[in-house]
Structure 1
Amino acid sequence: MFKTPTPNRKRAINIIRHTRTNSGKPLIAHRGAGWDCPENTLEAVKLADKNGADAIEFDLEFSKDDVALIFHDDTLDRTTNGTGFIRQKYWRELQQLDASYGEFRTKYKGLQIPLLADMVDLCLYLKLKMYIDVKGTPSKAVPALTKLFQEREQLYDNAIVCSFNPIIPYKLRKADSKIIVGVTHRHKFLTRKVDGSERESNTIKSLIFPTFDSILEWSIINWIPKFVGASAILLHLDSVNKNLVEKFKTQDIEVVVWTVNELSEKNYFGNELKCPIITDTLTQ
């Protein structure tokens, strides 16, 4: 009663395993390859297309007035000339910001935070597959995405929706079982940041979160992806090994590795383990 329908395996493989050069090693531009161009912008997608990307990974977020847009961080400070939490800003305010940043500010100026619809339409036009990573809450993301897929039926064959929150792919496939979904995970997600440093926490969190992390890790490996109807699991490179890839393969679940930037790592995960890889750069 609670399990989602079995996903369309052929459709999933055509999205996840797609390469435009028949190389057998799908290259997914992380936020449009944010080392090469300002991340999560339309300009990044255009450059990633020129540099040989097979797919684009980008992040779905929402403004205060529930406009679906593309942005990664909780706050505006790192990647724009704005400050504060993006969910506390109206779309009309966000439209005024420059989404170029750091070393890119001298080369790119006046780039805007894109709308979800504009990002999707550009990827479809360029014939790029899409990994839509959901940052927003299920109550906003699920209706927005189901509406988007129903309005643009090409998305069913060209996009996969992923999230660290397994409730989102679960509810999405309950709402529309034709949508291909994935679950994203990394080791010690609750207690450590991506760079390995400890998250700030109070005494209670520091005591219970390591236990929650262990439970989450076991659940991700053993039952969550299959239960939510995931066709892929997106794992941080530190969590991936040959045995794990084979384990998920027996369940018809593809392992996609992130974020793979070193050439030696690209060769290992792409050529030896035969995994699609998500990378910040397509120029090395």
Structure 2
Amino acid sequence: MILLVCLLSALFFLFFFCFFLSPKKQPRDVVTTILGSTSGVIAHRGENVDAPENTLAAFRLARKNGAVAVEIDVSFTKDGHAVLMHDDTVDRTTDGHGRLDELTLDELKTLNAAHGHRLESEFDGVRVPTLDEAIEECLHLGLKIIFDVKGNAAQSVPVLVAAYKKYDLYGKAFVASFNSYVLYKLRRADPEILIGLTSRQWYWSYKADDCLVARHNNAVVTRLLCLGDIMRVWCINTWLLQFLGSSLYVIVRSQIYPELVKHWKIRGVHLVAWTVNDPLEKRYFEEVLNIFFMTDSTRN
């Protein structure tokens, strides 16, 4: 099994090396140029426990509570506008229904982005912001930005490169994604953009790392996807981060331990944990492991 995984990984590496080639420049150190220290709080989707996620109101609250950065989800409407939305559909976070890519920006702007939130009555009139609106608000607040890319490379890369140039986001933001091809294409388009690969152990095979809900209802397919996940993690731990020129490794909190932090710091890669909500865990990641973490609430 191990031999098979290594062989497939080697073939995968040779394919990329021969046909794509890695980005030529290594990024600047993300800790000193963007986040300013070695540990701290990043508001996950803004501040989604105490304000509607991925909204300007969430950013303001995150800043008030001392966050150094916000993580926001970049998706696209039917007519190609970049907006902030985590899900494929608008059902969970708005009073609308249907897939985001089947709605125009004008249609999206009519929806209540606070619908269903526990503090909905305190955020009357909150709407889904465009990417431009979000960037402008974060820069005004002095917040650093982590763009979590949901779209494909052909759609998202030109938009992000244009945004970096328009707002001079170098040293103020970086781009994270589960999709390594998006990151690869982004750094090929602009090597000065800092990136972070996002990952968790069983991402392809299971919807969550508790392994309770498989992504596919066929057991054989699930086993093959598990094999793919093993190979993917092996690639990350051996060569993929260096190949991409990734400054950060954004990884689920349950898979982070002291030796892993040291392993990547020696290689110039800084870990970011997600999502950390327990107060004691927050102290552990910030004071013991001395790394950044994403949280749904920056209040404590």
TM-score band, normalised by shorter chain: over 0.9
Determine if the alignment matches structure 1 residue 52 to structure 2 residue 66. Answer: yes
Determine if the alignment matches structure 1 residue 120 to structure 2 residue 139. Answer: no
Among residues 264, 269, 284, which one is paired with 2:280 in the alignment?
A: 264
Among residues 79, 82, 91, which one is paired with 1:65 in the alignment?
A: 79
Q: Which runs of 5 or more structure 2 residues have no equivalent in the other structure?
A: 1-16
Structure 1 residues 1-284: aligned runs within 5 Å = 2-10=21-29, 12-18=30-36, 25-102=39-116, 103-153=118-168, 155-194=169-208, 196=210, 197-203=212-218, 204-284=220-300
Q: Tell whether the 8 Å contact from 2:205 to 2:225 is kept in structure 1 after alignment.
A: yes
Deviations 1:155-195 (Å, cap 9, x if unpaired)? 00100100000111111110001111110001211122236
- Measured after TM superposition, the shift of residue 74 of structure 1 is 0.9
Q: Tell whether the 8 Å contact from 1:68 to 1:116 is kept in structure 2 after alignment.
A: yes
Residue 13 (structure 2) aligns with = none
TM superposition score normalised by structure 1: 0.94
Q: Percent identity?
A: 36
What is the root-mean-square deviation in Å for CA atoms of aligned residues? 1.5
**SS of alignment partner, residue 191 of structure 1:** coil
Which one is further off, 197-206 or 91-100? 197-206
- Distance in 2, Cα, partners of 1:164 & 1:176: 19
- Measured after TM superposition, the shift of residue 239 of structure 1 is 1.1
- Distance in 2, Cα, partners of 1:15 & 1:74: 33
Aligned AA for 2:193?
I
Q: Structure 1 residues 86, 43: closer, same or farther in 2, change over 3 A? A: same
- Distance in 2, Cα, partners of 1:91 & 1:26: 34
Q: Structure 1 residues 53, 220: closer, same or farther in 2, change over 3 A? A: same
Aligned AA for 2:182?
I
Aligned AA for 1:14?
T
- Distance in 2, Cα, partners of 1:105 & 1:195: 30
Q: Tell whether the 8 Å contact from 1:15 to 1:129 is kept in structure 2 after alignment.
A: no
- Measured after TM superposition, the shift of residue 268 of structure 1 is 1.1
Say which one has the larger Rg: 2
- Distance in 1, Cα, partners of 2:178 & 2:146: 13
- Distance in 1, Cα, partners of 2:33 & 2:276: 19
- Measured after TM superposition, the shift of residue 205 of structure 1 is 2.3
Q: Tell whether the 8 Å contact from 2:202 to 2:208 is kept in structure 1 after alignment.
A: no
Task: Report the count of equivalent residues.
Answer: 278
